[in-house]
Amino acid sequence: MTRLNRDDLEAIAERAPVVSVVGDLLLDGWWSGAAERITREAPVPAVDISDRVRSAGGAANTAVNLAALGARVRLTGWVGDDVDGRALVALLADAGVDTAGVLLLPGRTTTTKTRVVVDEQVLMRLDDVGEDSLGSDDLDALLAAALEARRGAAAEVVCDYGGSFLAHLREALASAGGRPPLVVVDAHDLAPWRILRPDLITPNAREAAALVGSAGPSPAGADEDRVAWVQAHAGALAEASGAAAVVVTLDRTGSVLLTSTEAGAGEAGARETDPGEPGPDREPVISHRTWARPGRESNASGAGDSFVAGLTVARASGFALETSLDLAQLAADVVVRRFGTSVCSTADVIDALHEREDAAWDLDELVRRLDEERARGKRIVLTNGCFDVLHRGHTTSLAEARALGDVLVVAVNDDASTRRLKGPTRPINPVQDRVGVVSALSCVDYVTAFGADTAVAIIERLRPDVYAKGGDYVPEMMDETEAVRRIGGHVAILDYVKDHSTTLVVDRIRSSLASTSADAQEQDDAAEALP
């Protein structure tokens, strides 16, 4: 697995992939004020508006987020030739979005959604939605604009929120040439878009349930019950959507990635490892999982657009699916901490990464924080290790450990203890880097470093409900087992990921370097032997 880091984000900005966005455009409004009296006309609050903020909504918000994350964006859609439509086009232009494909249609009303807000609480939303059926000339113009936007694009994003014009363009988009290497569909109703054979779709739990004709997972159920529902319907989701990969967002708890092969994500830039369309003998599997940092529901407006933008811009830049999904989750986490329809930029993601990488918790502070988590009824899981060169065995085990509870704490051996445990040539990476790597994983909530050869003292201080360890151990062989039992906890042995260990990774690297050095020496010897 490729971990998301600052270099990745800077690489995206340098590559500046061209992304075509086609979809329903709207203007979001946020009117804020104070409500200190009840009106005489009716028993409702009177709001004195003190601030009005307008922002791009729908496909326009996806476009703005893509531009903020480093993409060169070409947008296709329509607005009315009215005050709101012209305001939206100006917002898009200011954000660096190419609006050559945005039609200003006289006599049409731009769709607006305006929230009235008091103390960051939305009192009501006023939707102004005009007639959206278009004539054949306008539809032809929009199709021509969408096809022109495809030229040389690395990706195409379809944002279908129920407007009628995309239904008219769908078949033409599917049959026309010039399809970009990556096609992403974000739609309330995904079934009709099967004709496009998208590379990625991004339904939420409700949209996924509608796609397969199921009642869907219960929003009130446990997080893992929802994950289990996705896995149980993996084949049906792939068949109904025709998509190579499906990312299901589970409300505000995170997302899961379904691919038809475990190699679906590959390494950064390795497009040849894309999973392809699932076949009868290639049942999709959950190949990656993210955990969200939940925010207030009132702050979730536009978070899905930021998620799609992050996923698309990373994938269009050649990064692995897992890495792209981590960026998507991080972008969504950024915007749900802000009020209104927000935009996540490259700088925002870098700041968020820095927060995670600097998140090695002091043990006393961590004890206090975990006491607060327990008071909220959270189940604490602890695991530990050196995590010297992060590999798939680590990430699989950490995700499995996170699934055993509500909060995952990872204790990382410091450099001295790693040297004692692994030998004089280890660690490869210093503890600050190893803590930063583990902290950046969305399944990890807290990271601390420790210097002992066992985790007994950490267990006694943190008192986890579950102590999880990799599958190459058994409880009887671990010093930690008795400590866990003394505090009333449970020891869980995680599944062993065969042929994935830091030692094997390091050995392969050294073998490759030795082979390269030998080849170079042979070439030098051959050159010297020439007359």
Active-site annotation, residues? 305
Nearest to 77 by CA among 61, 53, 96, 54: 61
Q: Name beta bridge partners: 35.
A: 47
Q: Is the dihedral of CA 460, 466, 469, 471 positive or negative?
A: positive
Task: Map 382-436 to HEC letters.
Answer: EEEECCCCCCHHHHHHHHHHHCCCCEEEEEEECHHHHHHHHCCCCCCCCHHHHHH
What is the token pair recorded at 24?
């329903």
In the sheet that 18-23 helps form, which strands lie side by side, from edge to edge?
98-105, 72-80, 18-23, 155-160, 182-187, 200-201, 245-249, 254-259, 285-291
* Measured distance CA(71)–CA(53) in Å, rounded: 25
Q: Is the dihedral of CA 443, 446, 451, 457 positive or negative?
A: negative
Q: At 227, is the secondary structure helix, strand, or coil?
A: helix
What is the token pair recorded at 336?
């749900």
Q: Name beta bridge partners: 45.
A: 38
HSE-up of residue 41 (Cα within 13 Å, Cβ side): 2
HSE-up of residue 108 (Cα within 13 Å, Cβ side): 21
Supply the angle between the helices 321-335 and 6-15 in degrees, to the nearest 10.
Answer: 100
- Strands (DSSP E) along 202-338, which ranges? 245-249, 254-259, 285-291
* Measured distance CA(443)–CA(423) in Å, rounded: 29
Q: At 502, is the secondary structure helix, strand, or coil?
A: helix
- Tell me the CA distances in angstroms from 188 to 24, 26, 123, 162, 204, one per residue in order: 12, 16, 25, 7, 9
- Quickly list H helices, 155-204: 165-175
Contact 289, 325 (CB under 8 A): no
Ramachandran area for residue 459 (φ above 0: left; ψ -120 to 50: alpha; else beta): alpha
